[in-house]
Amino acid sequence: MHGNQKTQIHHVYLGQRRTTVSLDSALAFFLELNLGKKPGTPEAKQAVRQWLQGRLDKEGDPGRVLVSNWLKREALLSLLNPKVVKRYWEWVDEGMSDNG
């Protein structure tokens, strides 16, 4: 992938609050490819940060907690086959109804 780098660090804003997101290098690598960028370049890293910020802005929840974990899951889901994503959400929904 790209060298010995184990994580890729990004700073994003949730409302007025700045938070840090650490992406595993493999997840960042495939997200860069998915965004049409050459992995490991400054342009690719900027595209990933903009994508992460865009997800936060789209969601619009200034009270969100565990932002980094949520964004990592969103990044992973964006890379998966839609059938797998559908099964994931079905599994989540089943778990919620089992706990309710």
Q: What is the pLDDT of residues 52-92, one digit of tens each?
A: 999 999 987 777 788 889 999 999 999 998 898 888 889 88
List C-alpha distances in Å: 73 to 27, 42, 44, 52, 61: 10, 23, 19, 11, 16
Q: What is the pLDDT of residues 35-48, one digit of tens each?
A: 999 999 999 999 99
| Residue 72 identity | K
Q: Kindly state the average pLDDT of the residues 2-7.
A: 64
Taking the whole predicted model, whether its pTM rises above 0.85 is answered as no
